[in-house]
Amino acid sequence: MTTRSVLIIEDEPSISQSFRYALKKSVEYNYRINTVTSAEDAIKMIELSGPFDIILLDYYLPGMNGAEFLKTLRLRDNNSVVVCISASQDYRVVHDIFKLGADDFLAKEELANPLILEKMIITGLEKKQYQREAVQREITTQRLDAITTIIRTVHHELNNPMAIVRLASARMASSTELSSEEMRMFLKEVEQNVTRMSEVLKRLPLLQEEIFNEQLRGLKLYALPEEPAPQSSDNQKKDRP
């Protein structure tokens, strides 16, 4: 059975015990449960132990309330499933907690039925898994787009000089009346464009890392990297044994 970590943030011991009772009866997961009585203690625990799979959050807490905790949590963690619990079913409260990143809302009067909590947790975990897979699919698609872009860039960088080399070679091979000056001109064109292709090929091994662009929300590679700057004569002397 898969183990899931749970943090209960609840200042009423009887409610915390109700959560523990409901989770212990689960047939889906083995829950590793931690309990705190304030949002401040919850933040300290998360900082020490890392994120939890599930957070059961009382909205009305002493000190920092549930909304303030959610705001702080979502700045650093979007993967935890957060079920917010409240004795109040005020529309404004429900609206606020969903807006701030809660995954579900449970009225305390519904705790009598442990299956409701289990269903909310399973649904929340499935939603988070779907979101992670969607992000991974997007990154994979962008990687393929980046590879396609590089292939097209390399094709363009090599195709033009190759065409010039072919034309110059064909002209030299097909004509027996070229002057020495014309021959040197064609040979120079061949040499220059072979060098140009060689420089492109030397830059290919530099494609070792993908560039992360936060504005584009993904991984992108748009062009061949620039050649590394040549070392100065002073630096070359320093590198010599």
What are the residue ranges spanned by the domains of the chain? Answer: 2-112, 136-226
Domains 2-112 and 136-226 share a fold: no
Domain 136-226 carries which CATH code?
1.10.287
pLDDT in tens, 156-179: 888 888 998 988 888 888 877 888
pLDDT in tens, 178-216: 888 888 898 999 999 998 888 888 877 766 555 555 554
Task: Answer yes or no: is pLDDT of 42 > 80.
Answer: yes
Q: What are the tokens at 167?
A: 């034309």
Give whole-number Cα distances, 17 to 28, 69, 227, in Å: 20, 22, 64
Give the torsion sign (CA, 197, 203, 205, 210): negative
**pLDDT > 70 fraction of the chain, expressed in percent and rounded:** 84
CATH class of 2-112: alpha beta
pLDDT given at position 52: 94
Global confidence as pTM: 0.61
